[in-house]
Amino acid sequence: MASLAACSGASTGTATPAATPSPARDAAAEAYVALIHNFWIEEQSADEASNGKNLAARVCLGVDPPGTPADLQLVDPAACHERAIALLATHQKFLGDLDRTPAPAKFLPDDQVFRAQIPKTIADLNRLISATQSGGKSAVLQAATAYNGDMYPSVTDALNDVDPSVRHP
């Protein structure tokens, strides 16, 4: 009779811990987070000089360090042109990658931000490239400011929601 009680699961006075199921892996969410993470890494690479400083902020927006008021004397149209081309390629690739990577339901609001704002940033970058070719510092600053306005904080906030492992200032 004691063996039947043990097999039936009836309590014998000793507690055995219940197995907790491990959370199911969400491959779609992992792929989407990886896409967002890679975009930001590529964005930073396009922004930066070999010394790791945000060169685009200096040569396009005239700020050094970022967060300081713009100084038109720091704007360098030729150097900005190079950064803008690199950023444009990154944004175009990201938009294409978004089209091939469906957003999981939990990321739909952020995905909508990306799909609304990234085409705007692409248009802004094309205008910035044109402005850099004219050589006028004021036109470069104005175009860079438009890009910055379409990118921050809406896109960076959405990046933070999807991939909180990296700070998106």
The tens-digit pLDDT sequence of the chain (169 residues) is: 333 333 344 444 445 555 555 567 899 999 999 999 999 999 988 888 655 567 888 999 999 887 889 999 999 999 999 999 999 999 999 999 999 999 999 999 999 999 999 999 999 999 999 999 987 999 999 999 999 999 999 999 999 999 998 876 6
CA pair distance 122, 92, nearest whole angstrom: 7
76 located within any domain: yes
Q: What is the structure's pLDDT at 11?
A: 44
15 located within any domain: no
- Tell me if the bond preceding 21 is cis, omega within 30° of 0: no
Q: What is the structure's pLDDT at 20?
A: 56
13 located within any domain: no
CA pair distance 33, 165, nearest whole angstrom: 10
5 located within any domain: no
What's the farthest any 2 CA atoms get from each other in the chain? Answer: 94
Q: What is the structure's pLDDT at 64?
A: 86
Token digits of residue 32: 């989407």
Q: How many domains, the chain?
A: 1
Task: Give residue 68's domain range.
Answer: 25-162
Q: What is the structure's pLDDT at 66?
A: 74
144 located within any domain: yes
3 located within any domain: no
Q: What is the structure's pLDDT at 1?
A: 37
34 located within any domain: yes
In which residue are the tokens 């811990």 written? 17
pTM: 0.82
Token digits of residue 3: 């063996």
Q: 3-class DSSP state for residue 155?
A: helix
4 located within any domain: no
